[in-house]
C-alpha cells in the first residue's frame, strides 16, 4: 500500500510553493474508493473561456475515462471545464459498467458546477478490472464543490497518488508583454511508466489566454521530448493522461509565444523528472544523453533501449560501471549502430571508444561515478547528428517488493 512505502531517497525536500492560477479552483476529499484514511478524489473547476488540451495513452486497452476524455477534446472553450480524478481504482477493463461510471460522475459534476457534461473530464488510477464504486465519489461532490479554493493545488496532488511516495508539483512564471503569466502543474506516477505516452496523470494550469487548437499542438509537441522520454519499467499504463488548461485569467494572450513554450517545457520536464525520482524502488536518477545517431528517432530508440534494459538498470543499482551492458543494449535496440564508432562516457569519464575500452579508463573512476545519486550516461554513435535525452531510474529489490506484493 502506498502509505507504507518510505519516501524516495531521490525526492525533493519539500513540495514547492505553487502560484495561484487565476480562473481555476481545486478541492480534494476522502471518498474511500479503495484507500482508507487519506484523500482520493480531486476536483478542478475552470472558468468559462478555458482552453483545454490533452494527450492520452495509446494503449489498445485504455480505460473508460481516457476514452471519454479523448472524445471530448476540441469542445467549446466558452463553457468552462472541470476535471475530476480519483485514485485507488483505474476503471480500466471494466466493460460497459466502466462507461456507466464515467457517465454518472460527469453528469453529477455537470449538475453541481453548472457546466455542460461534454466539458467535464475524468481520470481514474489504481487497480485494473474492478468496478469503480462511483457512488462513493458522487456523494462527495457537494463537499468538493463547497471546498473549491484557488490555493488547494497541493491537496489535489496528494489526492491522486497511488504508489507515489511524494506529491509532485512544479511551476513557472513567464513575463509576456510586461505581464506575468503563471503556469503550475501536478503529477502522479511511479510504476507502469513508459512511453507511449506520459504514463501517468499530469494536470497543468495556466492563466494565459491560448488558442485551444494551438494549445493542443504545443502540448503534443512538448510531450514528445519530456513525458515520452521517461521510463521506469517499460510498462505502459491504461490510464495515462496529460492535460493542460489555459484559463485566460491573466488577460495575456500567450498563443505562439516562444517564452511561454519554454516555461511550459520547464514545468513538464520538472514533473517528468519527479516521476522518475519516484520510480518504484528507485535509488538512482539516470539521464541518458544520446548523440551522433543517424536520426533523432534512432537516438531515442537507443536511449530507451538502454533505459529499459533490466541488466543496465540492475548494474546501476549495484553501482557497477558495467559499460558492456550499455553496449549490449545499443546492439539490441534495432536502431543503427557501428560497434567501432561508438563512444560511451559515465559523467565526464570516457569509458569506451572505437569499439573498445578507452585507453584512459580506469575501473575506479567509473566506480566512483556510479556511487552518485544522479548519474549521466553519454553515448555517441559517431554516425550523424541525431540526438535525444531520456531519463530513468535503477532497478532494485524494492521494485520487486512493491510489485510482487502490491496489487496496483
Using CB under 8 A, pick the residue from 9, 78, 95, 180 that binds its own copies: 95
The distance of closest approach from Cβ of residue 244 to its own copies in the complex, given in angstroms and rounded to an integer, is 24
> DSSP assignment of 139-161, as one string?
TTHHHHHHH-BTT-HHHHHHHT-
State how beta strands 285-293 and 374-380 pair. Answer: parallel
Grid coordinates 475515462 are at which residue? 65
The Cα 168–Cα 185 span in angstroms is 8
Q: Indicate the residue among 256 and 338 with the shorter CB distance to its own copies.
A: 338
Using CB under 8 A, pick the residue from 76, 175, 338, 374 that binds its own copies: 338
Using CB under 8 A, pick the residue from 139, 355, 372, 385 that binds its own copies: 355
Q: C-alpha cell of 261?
A: 513554450
Q: Does 233 bind its own copies (CB under 8 A)?
A: yes
Q: Does 400 bind its own copies (CB under 8 A)?
A: yes
Q: Does 375 bind its own copies (CB under 8 A)?
A: no
Q: C-alpha cell of 268?
A: 513538464
Region 266-325 residues binding its own copies, contact defined as CB under 8 A: 308-311, 314-315, 317-318, 320, 322-325
Q: Indicate the residue among 32 and 129 with the shorter CB distance to its own copies.
A: 129
CB atoms within 10 A of CB 170: 23
The distance of closest approach from Cβ of residue 17 to its own copies in the complex, given in angstroms and rounded to an integer, is 35
Counting runs of H as helices and runs of E as strands, what totals does the chain give? 12, 15
Q: Indicate the residue among 143 and 196 with the shorter CB distance to its own copies.
A: 196
Binding mask 97-136 for its own copies (x = CB under 8 A): xx----------------------------xxxx------
Tell me if 399 sits within 8 A of 233, measured CB to CB.
yes
Sequence-distant (≥ 6) Cβ neighbours of residue 64 within 8 angstroms: 91, 92, 94, 98, 99, 101, 102, 124
Q: Indicate the residue among 265 and 336 with the shorter CB distance to its own copies.
A: 336
Grid coordinates 509532485 are at which residue? 168
Phi, psi of 148 (to 5 degrees): -55, 135
In 208-354, DSSP assigns E strands to: 241-246, 285-293, 343-346, 349-353
Using CB under 8 A, pick the residue from 3, 7, 332, 372 that binds its own copies: 332
The distance of closest approach from Cβ of residue 331 to its own copies in the complex, given in angstroms and rounded to an integer, is 3
Sequence-distant (≥ 6) Cβ neighbours of residue 297 within 8 angstroms: 335, 386
Residue 371, class by beta-carbon neighbours within 10 Å (0-12 exposed, 13-18 middle, 19+ buried)?
Answer: exposed
Catalytic residue ranges: 199
- Helices 323-332 and 310-317: angle between axes, nearest 10 degrees: 160
Q: Does 331 bind its own copies (CB under 8 A)?
A: yes
Q: Indicate the residue among 29 and 242 with the shorter CB distance to its own copies.
A: 242
Binding mask 167-206 for its own copies (x = CB under 8 A): ------------------------xx-x------------
Region 1-30 residues binding its own copies, contact defined as CB under 8 A: none
Q: Does 247 bind its own copies (CB under 8 A)?
A: no
Q: Does 71 bind its own copies (CB under 8 A)?
A: no
Secondary structure of the chain: what % helix, strand, coil (to 5)?
Answer: 35, 25, 40
Examine residue 268 and say whether the peptide bond preceding it is cis (omega within 30 degrees of 0). no
Q: C-alpha cell of 337?
A: 549502430
Region binding its own copies by CB under 8 A among candidate stretches 8-16, 205-213, 232-240, 263-271:
232-240
Binding site for its own copies (CB under 8 A): 57, 59-62, 90, 92-98, 127-130, 191-192, 194, 233-238, 308-311, 314-315, 317-318, 320, 322-325, 327-333, 336-340, 342, 352, 354-357, 395-397, 399-401, 403-405, 407-408
Amino acid at each position: 500500500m502506498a502509505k507504507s512505502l518510505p519516501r524516495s531517497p531521490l525526492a525533493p525536500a519539500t513540495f514547492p510553493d505553487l502560484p495561484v492560477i487565476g480562473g481555476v479552483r481545486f478541492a480534494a476529499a476522502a471518498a474511500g474508493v479503495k484507500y482508507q484514511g487519506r484523500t482520493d478524489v480531486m476536483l478542478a473547476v475552470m472558468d468559462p473561456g478555458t482552453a483545454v488540451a490533452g494527450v492520452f495513452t495509446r494503449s489498445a486497452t485504455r480505460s473508460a475515462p481516457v476514452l471519454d476524455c479523448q472524445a471530448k477534446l476540441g469542445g467549446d472553450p466558452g463553457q468552462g471545464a472541470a476535471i475530476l480524478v480519483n485514485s485507488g481504482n483505474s476503471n480500466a477493463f471494466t466493460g460497459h459498467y466502466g462507461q456507466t461510471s464515467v457517465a454518472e460522475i460527469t453528469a453529477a459534476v455537470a449538475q453541481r458546477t453548472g457546466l455542460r457534461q461534454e466539458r467535464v473530464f475524468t481520470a481514474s488510477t489504481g487497480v485494473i478490472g474492478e468496478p469503480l464504486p462511483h457512488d462513493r465519489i458522487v456523494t462527495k461532490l457537494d463537499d468538493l464543490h463547497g471546498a473549491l479554493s484557488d490555493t488547494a493545488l497541493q491537496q489535489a496532488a496528494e489526492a491522486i497518488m497511488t504508489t507515489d511516495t511524494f506529491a509532485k508539483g512544479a511551476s513557472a512564471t513567464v513575463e509576456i508583454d510586461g505581464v506575468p503569466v503563471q503556469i503550475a502543474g501536478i503529477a502522479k506516477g511511479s510504476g507502469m511508466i513508459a512511453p507511449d505516452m506520459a504514463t501517468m496523470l499530469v494536470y497543468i494550469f495556466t492563466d494565459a489566454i491560448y488558442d485551444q487548437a494551438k494549445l493542443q499542438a504545443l502540448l503534443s509537441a512538448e510531450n514528445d521530448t519530456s513525458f515520452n522520454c521517461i521510463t521506469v519499467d517499460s510498462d505502459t499504463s491504461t490510464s495515462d493522461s496529460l492535460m493542460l488548461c489555459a484559463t485566460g485569467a491573466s488577460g495575456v494572450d500567450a498563443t505562439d509565444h516562444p517564452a511561454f513554450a519554454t516555461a511550459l517545457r520547464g514545468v513538464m520536464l520538472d514533473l517528468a523528472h519527479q516521476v522518475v525520482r519516484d520510480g518504484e524502488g528507485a535509488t538512482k536518477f539516470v539521464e541518458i544523453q544520446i548523440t551522433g545517431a543517424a536520426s533523432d528517432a534512432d537516438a531515442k530508440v537507443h536511449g530507451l533501449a538502454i533505459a529499459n534494459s533490466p541488466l543496465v538498470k540492475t548494474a546501476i543499482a549495484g553501482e557497477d560501471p558495467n559499460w558492456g551492458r550499455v553496449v549490449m543494449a545499443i546492439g539490441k535496440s534495432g536502431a543503427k549502430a557501428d560497434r567501432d564508432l561508438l563512444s560511451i562516457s559515465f559523467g565526464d569519464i570516457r569509458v569506451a571508444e572505437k569499439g573498445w575500452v578507452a585507453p584512459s579508463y580506469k575501473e575506479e573512476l567509473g566506480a566512483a561515478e556510479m556511487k552518485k545519486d544522479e548519474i549521466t550516461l553519454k553515448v555517441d554513435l559517431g554516425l550523424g547528428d541525431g540526438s535525444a535525452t531520456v531519463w530513468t531510474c535503477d532497478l532494485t529489490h524494492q521494485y520487486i517488493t512493491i510489485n510482487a506484493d502490491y496489487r496496483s
